[in-house]
Each structure stands twice: as C-alpha cells, then as structure tokens.
Amino acid sequence: MSEKKPAPNGWIILDKPRGLGSTQAVGAVKRVLREGGYAKTKVGHGGTLDPLAEGVLPIALGEATKLAGRMLDASKIYEFTIAFGVETDTLDTEGETVGTSDVRPSLPQIEAILPEFSGTIEQVPPAYSALKVDGKRAYDLARAGEVVELEMRAVTIHSLTIADGPHARDEITLMAHVSKGTYIRSLARDIAHALGTCGHVTYLRRTKAGPFAEAQAISLDKLNEIANGAQLSDLLLPLEAGLDDIPALSLSQTDAQAVRQGRVLSGLPQSSGLYFAKLGNVPVALVEIMDGTAKVVRGFNLPDVAE
C-alpha cells in the first residue's frame, strides 16, 4: 500500500455550478483528495451558495478551516437577474407562482429606484431560507405548508448597479456588493415591489467572496483532475490568501514559539487591531493587538518549513 500524501492546508476556490449544493461541493473536494491519495483532510466552505446559484465558493482545507468563519462574515459580490411580472414563493425559478403583475418598469425607473437600496437597509429573509424558526429550518416549515414569519433584519448594500449589456423589457441584471446576511432573492423582491410590480430571481452568480474573485475559481472538471493525479499545488491557494485584508506581523523564532504556546506578546509598537502573525513565510496565528499587547485569536498548526 503506497504512503498517503500529507493532508493539504489552504484554499480551493470552486466555480460552483448551478444545481450543486455547498455541502455537496465540500463532499466533492473530500472525494478527489481521497482518490488522489491524500491523508484525511478537514474540509469546510466559506459561505453557502444556494443550489440554484453559481460562482465563487471558497473551500477551506486543513488549517484554513480555522478561517472559514471569517469568510462567512466577509462581504460578497453578486450578479443577478430579476424577471418582472411573476413572484414565486421561493423568490426564484423553483417556486410556485404567488403573484403576477402587468407592470414592466423602464430602465430610467429602475435606475431611479436603486439608490433607495444602497447603504444600510432592512429586509425580510425569504421563507425558503436556511434560517431557523423554533429550532427548525425555515425552508422545511415552508415546504410543509406552514406560514413562516421571519423578522426584518438590517443589512448593508455597499453598491448596487445595473450590469453592462443589452436589457430586455421584462427583466434587469444587477451587480450588488453586499454585507454578510444579505439575501439577494429578498433584494430582488423588494426592488420589484418598489417599482410597483413583482419579480423573482432567474439568474444568480457570486463573483467575489471576501478576498476571492472568480478569476481564481476552478471548475468541477479541473477539480476532478486531482483524483487522476494532477498536482494539487497548481490549484491550491495558500492559507494566507484568506487574510489578504489583514496586515502581517513578522515574528522572531522566540516570539513565534511563545505565540504557538498561546502566550501574550507585549511592548509591540503596532497600532491596535487584527494581525496575521508569521515566521518567515509560515503562518503562525491570527493575533489581536490591543495597546501594544498581542493575544492569539486563532493559532495555526503548520511546520516551520513550508512543504
């Protein structure tokens, strides 16, 4: 029996196809690693994408799974199409029609309404969502025919613009840069209502998740090549790729040892905030500096010499 390759640490950015769930995508990565001869590896994803949505899905491997929570909190960019005239119970193409309208907004009317949906706004999540109501998933209750009442929540729309390209009379494609917790289907519903009509999402693609953009994403076919002996290193982004927005803190060997033991570093000149501590090129920990004192937020268990 051949010796297994060491479990990898880092990120695979998957261009998730429509029809595949995020959990299924994680399962696909686990399968190709197993078939590619790698040791058992912890795998997680950095932000759910609905099966009907496509695009950037960060998959964390090994020590990078410790950063998956940060990825959930990161802002995202989506491209989506609203078809006007029909609203469905799921607010997308899967659902049953619950409302219709003959009103079709003009392009100038759409342009005029978008500023109302910029900045901090309130939205009610879709009944068909993974949020929990009394310990049960909202979509399970909705599918069982129960009336699901979800509370309004505040989200931030950093930008909302009309996408380039031709525009049909009965639909519009928009680009939205949004905070965590934003439901694009709810945004589409509310924009349609504000325009005096109704609508639902027919196309949804995530083009950016935190620091990861679609240019870095690989297809399922490319992923499957790992199972057939392709070099994982050609597709794997380093753990620190998920920390692009955090300043680095270079450690000495002595300080790195202390941080790995969970000890506090003091007398640091850096301003307060979150830092990515490393020894040479090796990630050691995420640390929080407060008034010159650094405490470990999340430690990484990686060898001093990158393999």
CB burial string 135-173: b at 16+ within 10 A, e below: eeebbebbeeeeebebeeeebebeebeeeeeeeeeeebb
| pLDDT at position 306 | 44
Question: Where do the H-state alpha helices sit in 136-244?
Answer: 138-143, 184-194, 220-224
Of 15, 50, 89, 92, the catalytic one is 50
Q: How much is the pTM?
A: 0.90
The CA distance from 7 to 33, in Å, is 9
Q: Among candidates 40, 23, 29, which has minimal Cα distance to 227?
A: 29
Checking phi first, is residue 55 left (phi over 0); if not, alpha (psi -120 to 50) or beta? left
Q: Residue 191: count other Cβ atoms within 10 Å of its Cβ.
A: 22
User: Cβ neighbours of residue 203 under 8 Å, at least 6 residues apart?
Assistant: 79, 80, 81, 173
Each residue's pLDDT expressed in tens, for the chain with a length of 307 residues: 568 899 999 999 999 999 999 999 999 999 999 999 999 999 999 888 888 899 999 999 999 999 988 888 899 999 999 999 999 999 999 999 999 999 999 999 999 999 999 999 999 999 888 888 888 888 888 888 888 888 999 999 999 999 998 888 899 999 999 999 999 999 999 999 999 999 999 999 999 999 999 999 999 999 999 888 888 988 999 999 988 889 999 999 999 999 999 999 999 999 999 999 999 999 999 999 999 999 999 999 988 754 4
| pLDDT at position 73 | 86
Q: Would you say 101 and 114 are in contact if contact means Cβ atoms under 8 Å apart?
A: no
The CA distance from 160 to 177, in Å, is 7
The CA distance from 47 to 11, in Å, is 13
**Strands 248-250, 273-279: pairing kind:** parallel
Q: Would you say 239 and 10 are in contact if contact means Cβ atoms under 8 Å apart?
A: yes
The CA distance from 90 to 128, in Å, is 5
To the query of whether residue 50 is one of the catalytic residues in this protein, the response is: yes
Q: Among candidates 159, 181, 163, 179, which has minimal Cα distance to 171?
A: 163
